[in-house]
Structure 1
Amino acid sequence: MGMTTTENSSTTQSHGKLIAVVIAAAVVIILAVLSAFVWPGWALNKSAATGSTTTQTGDKKQTAKAEPTTPSIKATALPDDATELLKSMPDSVLNYARTKAEASATWSAASPLEEYTLTYAVGTDTNDITLISAQWSTADSAKTQYDALVAAQTGDESASGNVKVSGNVTGAYVVKTDASDSKKSVAIWQNDTVVFQATGSTDAIDRFYQQFPM
């Protein structure tokens, strides 16, 4: 079948428009490539930023270390005449080993039946935790001492709640920043007739008191 002159003209115009579109697209691509060389950051900014984030994340993963859960030093033995309260003090809590335990009188004004000051350490003095533990004849007397200790700590509170044994509430706890040293914290808790106060670096206290068995 033959093609008329009008059809030939329309086809030629269509081909011309198509060629013009292709040429325009090619020009845009060429300009974009040239722009990347003239302003290098334009083409690389996003990938560079992503690469930086990945590198930083990778570095953090490489440098992050899991906290140890077992001590690297041996616990100091308790005296042969240790009371039941003193015997109940664990040899270690996570990687903190008991390095000292002796009778004390820090809370003598509150008339406890017995009181001890213990040191838990990881082998370096800078990470020592000082723990005071004392027992009273009644839970009410222990609660009175607990309340007094909490009131005496004027630092910011970071945690608090109830102490439970077998689902029953036997006391309470609170953790506050040490007002005399912002890098340290003080954890105080009462469990029935016994009161505890642990002092040390904030990171150490956060780990220690939560794992203490009493």
Structure 2
Amino acid sequence: MTDQRVNSPRTGATASVAGPGARKASPAVYRRRRLVAVAGLLVIVLAVVLVGGFVWPGFWRAEAAPQPVPTVTVTAAPPTPTVKAMDRNGDETAFQKALPSTVLQFALGSFAEAKKVKEELGALEVWDAEYSDGGSGEVALRAGQWATSDEAADAAAAWTTAAGEPDREGDVKVGKKVVGQYAVVPAKNGSAVVVWQNGTAVLQATGPADAMEDFYAAFPL
């Protein structure tokens, strides 16, 4: 007999006491117990992860930092004329040759010497030119050259005053050097006048208000 019956002196109940020969649990039982414990732990961890994912998405997956989108600047090609510029003969002064046959979408249509203006202003030469885009866009250009930059500055100031009150003014630069001033004056019927000085040269262009600053900026002189 491996079991002994012990009478409790207080209750009179009989207890069973395992003796030295009692059977122990087998290794398979311990393994099953461990598997059950591990499975329970995995279920708890999975539940925490799933709940955390709903409450706080970053709990179980790292949010990738948004990559900055590179800024791409697309520069449109400058407009070009759709009409042919007038033919020019080779018998021109250096100043005449510096006046272009095309400026953006405008092509030179006429070219003549302004002799009266030349005499009145004491200029070395003054030329009147007409540029057209082949449609309703027309630009009238007057270009003169003086012996000194001071005389040219006086002429530019006189032409600006005659045009009216400027609404935009600024420096004319060649590289970093200031060689004169420019002024944009609103005119009638949606047009504008821009007057600028470049050293001993003074130019005045009159045409569509929305094109005059671009015309001035693109003019090579």
The answer to whether the superposition gives a TM-score over 0.5 is yes
User: 1:4-33: CA deviations, max 9, x gaps?
Assistant: xxxxxxxxxxxxxxxxxxxxxxxxxxxxxx
- Please list the CA deviations of residues 46-100 of structure 1 after superposition, one character each: whole Å capped at 9, or x if unmatched: xxxxxxxxxxxxxxxxxxxx89611111111223211111111112111111111
Q: Residues 78 and 87 of structure 1 are in contact (CA less than 8 Å); yes or no, is this contact kept in structure 2?
A: no
Match of 1:158 among 151, 157, 167: 167
Greater helix share, structure number: 1
CA distance 1:79–1:72, change in 2 (3 Å): same
1:27 maps to none
TM-score normalized with structure 2 length: 0.62
Instruction: Read off the aligned partner of 1:87 and give its amino acid letter.
Output: K
Q: Which amino acid is the alignment partner of residue 177 of structure 2? A: N
**Partner Cα separation in structure 2 for residue 106 and residue 71 of structure 1:** 31
Residue 91 (structure 1) aligns with? 101
1:180-208: CA deviation from partner (whole Å, max 9, x where unpaired) = x1411000000000000000111121321
Deviation of 1:106 (Å):
5.5
Equivalent in the alignment of 1:211: 218
User: Which of residues 190, 193, 205 in structure 2 aligns to 1:198?
Assistant: 205
Distance change in 2, residues 1:113/1:94 (3 Å):
same
2:112 to 79, 91, 102: 102
Q: Which residue in the other structure is 1:170 paired with?
A: 179
Q: Residue 112 of structure 1: SS of its match in structure 2? A: coil
- Alpha carbons of 1:68 and 1:139: their partners in 2 closer, same or farther (altered >3 Å)? closer
Identify the residue that residue 44 of structure 1 maps to in structure 2: none
TM-score (normalizing by structure 1): 0.64
Q: Residue type matched to 1:136 in 2?
A: W
Percent of pairs with identical residues:
34
Distance 1:106 1:149 in 2: 15
| Mapping 1:21-170, distance limit 5 Å | 69-105=79-115, 107-108=117-118, 109-124=120-135, 126-155=136-165, 157-170=166-179
Distance 2:138 2:78 in 1: 15
Aligned counterpart in structure 1 of residue 193 of structure 2, from 171, 178, 186: 186
Superposed displacement of residue 166, structure 1:
1.9
In structure 2, the residue matched to 1:8 is none
Displaced runs of 4 or more, over 6 A: none
Structure (1 or 2) with the larger CA radius of gyration: 2
Give the letter aligned to residue 175 of structure 1. Answer: V
Give per-residue Cα distances to partners, 1:81-127, cap 9 Å, x unaligned.
11111111112111111111111135331111011111111112x31
